[in-house]
Amino acid sequence: MSGTADPIPMSPSHRFPEFFLVALVALSALLFSNVVFAEDEERPVHFVHDVVPILTKAHCNSGSCHAKADVGQRGFRLSLLGFEPQEDYEHIVKEAKGRRVFPNAPEQSLLVLKAANLVPHGGGSKLDPESENYKTLVRWISQGMPYGKESDPTLASIEIDPKRMVMETNTKQQLRVTAHYSDGTKRDVTELALYEANNKSMAEASESGLVETSDLPGNVAVMVRYSGQVSVFSVSIPLGAPVENLPPENNFIDKLVFANLKEIGVPPSPVCDDATFLRRVTLDIAGRLPTPEETSAFLDSKAPDKRDVVIDSLLDSPDYADYFANKWTALLKNKRESKADITANFAFHSWVRDSLLENKPYDEIVKQILAATGTIVENPPVAWYKRVTLPKQQLEDVAQLFLGVRMQCAQCHHHPFERWSQHDYYSLAAFFSQVGRKPTAIAGEDLIFHKRGVAKFENKKTGEPVKPAGLGGPTLEIAPDDDPRLQLANWMSEESNPFFAKVLMNRYWKHFFKRGLVEPEDDIRDTNPATNPELLDALANHFVESGFDLKEAVRVLTRSQTYQLSSKPNEHNAVDRQNFSHFYPKRMQAEVLLDSIDHLAGSSTDFADLPPGTRAIALPDNSYNASSAFLKVFGRPEGASVCECERVQASSLAQSLHLMNSNEVKAKLAKSAGRADLLSKSEKGDVDGIHEIYLTAFSRLPDGEELSIAEEYLTKPRTDAAGRPVDPKVAKRKAYEDLIWAIMNTKEFLYNH
């Protein structure tokens, strides 16, 4: 080989004389002021602007194919989504002894042979040999694989046409995507762009940018990506029904929700009745069913503000603190990994619970976790650092949990859907670079302190140290004596912080309304807009103005008429899944359901190391899942993830079988001095007994038909397997057990509605 000319250009700019491109650009600018790249055989193919988008469009450089981290696929490695074109160029042109590209016989190049599956390709056919994209690749090879030059224009932005529109249900719209370059030129890249709707049940986008709506009304966004640029096509899909008789607005939530409903023509359901409201709000705030006494008192009350009063009373109760501590501690990974974790886990859970009980402001809670120092027993939030040990984990968890930003991708490459770069990632990591640890007497438990020194973290890509900066914020100069984590907490709680308040309100909105204004609730980004952005902004503002008052956050949500709408759809709004035209019923969470069954059956569940009578919503960590089949079957999370998705709310056959037929549930029904036992012995009579069961389970009295069916069942004489009459006392108890069992298995019981 030595002495022969190298057919491969030494550097991307060597192959074509510079003047050629300059002349071309000048000519193009003169003749085609709107188009920089003439779509003809003459134009030199540009590696970054032409070749990489084709590879991206064909998914060659997706994470599961040739951009698999560090290894690629079968020896051929590309950067994820083409974020590192220089490296890709090297891999394609210089590796594999030049077999991937053959300028003398371009169509014999492995690059195109494999892509078109003309030689066996593990990924199958990705390019049709008749397609324009295939031809472009061949042309690029035949031109000697030019890279382009440093002076070439760069992609500045992409533009979608239309950007926003109202589309009727079941209609289509073709999008046009135009790339704008740094020299002012532009180009149609519709065929090369990638399209993805954020709610596929409402709209689908084809490979070529054709958007098709389904029959669901609401707001949907289609994310469009091209060469590292991202934009969004926003669609409003109206139902067009008349919206009249709106309930009176209680607060700004109603104003903004009803405005949206009017715009899309979806009439809301009426406000729910008192019984439904009390059950709903008690389950949502306190994680339990109302007692029959509470229900009777509430139903009997004539006070006009009784709904507001009950909300405040629930917020003042320790049940609220228990229930929300249960939610937060799973997200904060209060996970039992060894027997010795018990002290740390109990301490941390209790600290969260006590903080909620005293209504410590949310920014203060977060600050005390992020900047925790000392030992766990003396300062329980230190426990977070026991679970989340490395700065990278710390920044990723903090970003996702408290900022609603998923930074994981940005560790290795520019975030594909976001504006976050590796620099942003390591800037965030730098806040955690001065966390000092010292071992304590307890094995595996360090005490945490601020280690004096200038906070910085090495950017893995560049090898350069990066100083701390909040996302989108300026680089901070933090003195070596100041704990950078405090600065991070301060940045988060700044009024202008675009993430902190928003993600909390979205998370809480989802808690009460089943669906977040942004979904998933912790993935807030420009390319995943809220279904009602004005509402999310207003909620965030309200939260900031309240001084990050968590009880006020719950109060404002639950006081709204929107929250109090009936779950029964009207003739128009049944199709609505995201505009909150009616209340979306939710299956009770595992812990709430277990407690509710105990409440209904008059039983209790025994949990190791905890006093008898401790309820499932007050469990400090995940260790109880292992001993409770119920909690496991109904999806209680293990505290392994900061994502609420770890909690499984989906229904399963196992759940139905467990409720209908498990020994655990049977034992609860048959418990001595349980509800069935006591009612069967009560002298008050069956009508009272049935009333008590309905009030307990549904927070309402039975209607006439329900009452007569139940009465008839309770008084029916019973015989045993041999046909002999059963002792009436035993028969009555069994009948009550059956009645409670039947009620326990209704959707009305299992759901918060």
Q: How far is the CB of 325 from another protein (least distance, A)?
A: 12
Q: How far is the CB of 423 from another protein (least distance, A)?
A: 27
Q: How far is the CB of 377 from another protein (least distance, A)?
A: 7
482-502 burial: b if 16+ Cβ within 10 Å, else e? ebbbebbbebbbeeebbbbbb
* Cis upstream peptide for 520 (omega within 30°): yes
Residue whose CB is less far from another protein, 214 or 614: 614
Residue whose CB is less far from another protein, 53 or 380: 380
Q: How far is the CB of 454 from another protein (least distance, A)?
A: 12
Measure the CA–CA gap between 738 and 736, rounded to whole angstroms: 5
Residue whose CB is less far from another protein, 375 or 589: 375
Are the C-beta atoms of residues 179 and 227 closer than 8 Å to each other? yes
Are the C-beta atoms of residues 650 and 729 closer than 8 Å to each other? no
Measure the CA–CA gap between 639 and 597, rounded to whole angstroms: 24
Measure the CA–CA gap between 523 and 657, rounded to whole angstroms: 35
Residue 516: CB partners within 8 Å, gap ≥ 6? Answer: 506, 507, 509, 510
Residue whose CB is less far from another protein, 155 or 489: 489
Are the C-beta atoms of residues 351 and 637 closer than 8 Å to each other? no
Q: Which phi and psi angles does 33 have, rounded to 5°? A: -60, -20
Label the pairing between strands 164-166 and 229-237.
parallel
Q: Token digits for 302?
A: 């004539």
Residue whose CB is less far from another protein, 618 or 744: 618
Q: Which stretch of DSSP H or E encloses residue 694?
A: helix 686-698
Residue whose CB is less far from another protein, 350 or 641: 350
Residue whose CB is less far from another protein, 342 or 670: 342
Q: Which alpha helices (H) appear in 478-620, and where do they start and end?
A: 484-492, 500-513, 533-545, 550-559, 590-601
Residue whose CB is less far from another protein, 358 or 703: 358
Q: Report the SS3 class of residue 382.
A: helix
- Give me the sheet containing 203-205, strands edge to edge: 172-174, 210-213, 203-205
* Unique residue bearing structure tokens 């039947």: 742
Q: Which stretch of DSSP H or E encloses residue 199?
A: none
Q: In the complex, which residues of this chain contact another protein (CB under 8 A)?
A: 317-318, 321, 340, 342-343, 346-347, 350-351, 354, 357-358, 367-368, 371-375, 377-381, 436, 439, 441-443, 447, 449-450, 452, 481, 483, 485-486, 609-612
Residue whose CB is less far from another protein, 258 or 385: 385
Q: How far is the CB of 494 from another protein (least distance, A)?
A: 17
Residue whose CB is less far from another protein, 60 or 447: 447
Q: Report the SS3 class of residue 404.
A: coil
The helix, strand and coil proportions of the chain, stated in percent and rounded to the nearest 5, come to: 45, 10, 45
Q: How far is the CB of 637 from another protein (least distance, A)?
A: 22
Measure the CA–CA gap between 420 and 410, rounded to whole angstroms: 6
375-397 burial: b if 16+ Cβ within 10 Å, else e? bbeebbbbbbbbbbeebbbbbbb
Q: What is the largest CA-CA distance in the chain?
A: 109
Q: How far is the CB of 528 from another protein (least distance, A)?
A: 33
Residue whose CB is less far from another protein, 354 or 638: 354
Are the C-beta atoms of residues 87 and 79 closer than 8 Å to each other? yes
Q: How far is the CB of 411 from another protein (least distance, A)?
A: 27
Q: How far is the CB of 99 from another protein (least distance, A)?
A: 49
Per DSSP (E only), the strands in 360-460 are 435-439, 446-450, 457-458
Q: How far is the CB of 452 from another protein (least distance, A)?
A: 7
Q: How far is the CB of 581 from another protein (least distance, A)?
A: 37
- CB-side neighbour CA atoms (13 Å) of 99: 7
**CA angle at residue 225 from 220 to 229, to 5 degrees?**
120
Q: How far is the CB of 598 from another protein (least distance, A)?
A: 18
Residue whose CB is less far from another protein, 238 or 436: 436
C-alpha distance across the termini of the chain, in Å: 77
Residue whose CB is less far from another protein, 1 or 608: 608
Q: How far is the CB of 626 from another protein (least distance, A)?
A: 17
